[in-house]
């Protein structure tokens, strides 16, 4: 494939995978700039959370720029590099739950639960997709990954995170509930991509035939990572000290 004068590989008008990589790169880079510039406009107690939001989208933008080039150059799905991105960004997304409930008494134990579950979810997902993706036993690794995912869902909706949020004030309660919907519904797009990309993604049966897992993942990443940050930003803008007349 020939590069243009700027040394950039062109995207064909019917290459929707590369197009979503490009849009994802620009969207998440723009989100990073926004979060970083807004750091000074939020209360000090929320700055770490906003900083983490900016880091999440910045890391993703860098990886998406690289994955776009890899996809255009090879025509293959950048599975390894995508999981490198996720192993950095998804635990950071889980860290956000700890940060926003910390003032309500969240302990380091909760933080490690969330991080451990997210790492298990990603490592087993990678093994199933990259190592056993063409074999029917990939559903076993997908099942283990799914169990770790639902453990995170449990913590957020019914477990420690949910209980702490109830004691952290209405703004935090609302934010945790919104983030919980991102985890329950938004993150569910990743199992769909897994099922679409592996021979044994759903108990040995191939479903979503012809659906590109890269398009599924790219849309999911942009919505979830930027959405997570915007919820945190909204929380920082809402939960401000009441002015004394």
Give the long-range contacts of residues 176-179, CB within 8 A, separation 24 or more.
176/97, 176/100, 176/101, 178/231, 179/96, 179/97, 179/228, 179/231
Whether residue 244 has pLDDT greater than 60: no
Q: What is the pLDDT of residues 77-94, one digit of tens each?
A: 898 999 999 999 999 999
Phi/psi at 205 (nearest 5 deg)? -105, 135
Q: What's the mean per-residue pLDDT of the chain?
A: 86
Contact (CB, 8 A) for 189 and 219: yes
Q: What is the pLDDT of residues 191-241, one digit of tens each?
A: 777 777 677 666 555 555 555 678 888 988 999 999 999 999 999 998 766
Question: What does the alpha-carbon distance between residue 131 and residue 167 come to, in Å, rounded to a whole number?
Answer: 44
Whether residue 3 has pLDDT greater than 60: no
Could you tell me the domains of the chain? 16-238 (1.20.1070.10)
């Amino acid at each position: 494939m020939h590069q243009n004068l700027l040394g950039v590989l062109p995207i064909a008008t019917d290459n929707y995978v590369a197009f979503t990589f490009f849009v994802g790169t620009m969207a998440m880079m723009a989100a990073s700039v926004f979060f970083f510039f807004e750091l000074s406009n939020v209360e000090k107690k929320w700055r770490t959370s906003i900083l983490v939001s900016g880091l999440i989208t910045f890391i993703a933008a860098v990886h998406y720029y690289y994955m776009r080039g890899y996809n255009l150059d090879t025509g293959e799905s950048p599975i390894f590099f995508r999981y490198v991105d996720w192993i950095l960004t998804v635990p950071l997304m889980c860290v956000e739950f700890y940060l926003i409930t910390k003032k309500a008494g969240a302990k380091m134990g909760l933080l490690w639960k969330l991080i451990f579950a997210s790492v298990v979810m990603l490592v087993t997902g990678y093994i199933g997709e990259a190592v056993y993706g063409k074999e029917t036993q990939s559903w076993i690794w997908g099942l283990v990954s799914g169990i770790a995912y639902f453990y995170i869902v449990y913590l957020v909706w019914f477990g420690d995170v949910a209980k702490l949020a109830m004691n952290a004030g209405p703004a935090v309660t609302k934010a945790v509930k919104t983030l919980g919907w991102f985890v329950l519904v938004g993150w569910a797009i990743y199992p769909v991509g897994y099922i679409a990309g592996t021979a044994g993604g759903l108990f040995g049966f191939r479903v979503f035939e012809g659906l590109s897992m890269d398009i599924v993942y790219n849309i999911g990443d942009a919505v979830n990572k930027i959405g997570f940050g915007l919820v945190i930003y909204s929380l920082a803008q809402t939960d401000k000290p009441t002015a004394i007349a």
